[in-house]
């Protein structure tokens, strides 16, 4: 039942944004169809996680969500059914890191933002070490992903006055180096640079 609900929710989001807001997507063939993968998009809107998840051609996709969203039991149950798990955004959440490692070691997909948080200005933020650390620790490839247009009012997309699209780059495999903070940050920066390179402007 839970899996059917997830698949149904993906379809609703995908078709709603394609038909009402002219959302397009490119490079989905770059997402590996099996094995652990980190989908690493830029982050400018609360729409970003479900939009990316609706396009990824796999159903074993998991997401971070801010811990306060799980305070309400009904909301927590709803989020859990859509593969979200809580994370403390104010510091290093050891529990969320353990869950992330388990997800990847089980050969599943994790959506994680290289910037670590949402940009409120529409500009790219500096990279954080999270994506790099999890990739180096597990050997999971990273798919740099550009989300473009979610920082703009949705009425612009409804009127077809501004583009809304998602681009998946080819997967980047982690180098065989130690998963320390310095190496993790450098790898995250490499991923973010690839995302920036796909953007029409920075």
pLDDT for position 202 = 52
Angle between helices 2-21 and 73-81 (to 10 degrees): 80
Hey, is 110 helix, strand or coil?
strand
Residue 78 DSSP one-character state: H
Q: Left if phi > 0, otherwise alpha if psi is -120 to 50, otherwise beta: which for 38?
A: beta
- Structure confidence at residue 154 (pLDDT): 79
The confidence score (pLDDT) of residue 25 equals 97
CA dihedral sign, ordered 81, 89, 95, 115: positive
Cβ pair 147, 166 in contact under 8 A: yes
143: nearest Cα among 120, 115, 109: 109
Q: Which domains does the chain have, with CATH numbers?
A: 2-198 (3.40.1130.10)
pLDDT per position as a tens digit, 15-67: 999 999 999 999 999 999 999 999 999 998 888 988 999 999 999 999 987 77
Three-class secondary structure of residue 52 per DSSP: helix
Q: Report the half-sphere exposure of 60 (CA within 13 A, side-chain side).
A: 17
Radius of gyration of the chain, Cα coordinates, nearest whole angstrom: 16
Q: Which helix (H) or strand (E) holds 65?
A: strand 61-66
**pTM exceeds 0.85 for this model:** yes
Residue 88: predicted pLDDT: 76
- What is the token pair recorded at 184? 């993790």
| Direct distance between the N- and C-terminal alpha carbons of the chain, in angstroms, rounded to an integer | 42
Give the three-state DSSP class for 3.
helix
Residues of the chain with pLDDT under 50: none
Q: In the numeric block, which tokens belong to residue 101? A: 């490692």
């Amino acid at each position: 039942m839970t899996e059917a609900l997830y698949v149904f929710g993906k379809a609703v989001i995908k078709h709603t944004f394609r038909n009402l807001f002219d959302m397009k997507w490119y490079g989905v063939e770059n997402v590996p169809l099996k094995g652990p993968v980190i989908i690493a998009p830029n982050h400018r809107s609360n729409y970003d996680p479900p939009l990316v998840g609706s396009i990824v051609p796999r159903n074993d996709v998991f997401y971070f969500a801010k811990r306060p969203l799980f305070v309400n039991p009904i909301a927590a149950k709803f989020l859990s059914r859509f593969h979200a798990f809580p994370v403390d955004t104010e510091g290093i959440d050891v529990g969320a890191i353990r869950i992330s490692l388990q997800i990847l070691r089980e050969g599943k997909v994790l959506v994680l933002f290289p910037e670590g948080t949402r940009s409120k200005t529409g500009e790219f933020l500096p990279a954080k070490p999270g994506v790099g650390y999890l990739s180096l620790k597990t050997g999971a490839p990273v798919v740099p992903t550009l989300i473009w247009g979610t920082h703009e009012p949705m009425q612009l997309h409804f009127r077809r006055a501004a583009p809304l699209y998602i681009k998946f780059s080819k997967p980047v495999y982690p180098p065989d180096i130690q998963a320390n903070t310095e190496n993790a940050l450098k790898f995250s920066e490499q991923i973010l640079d690839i995302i920036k390179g796909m953007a029409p402007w920075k």
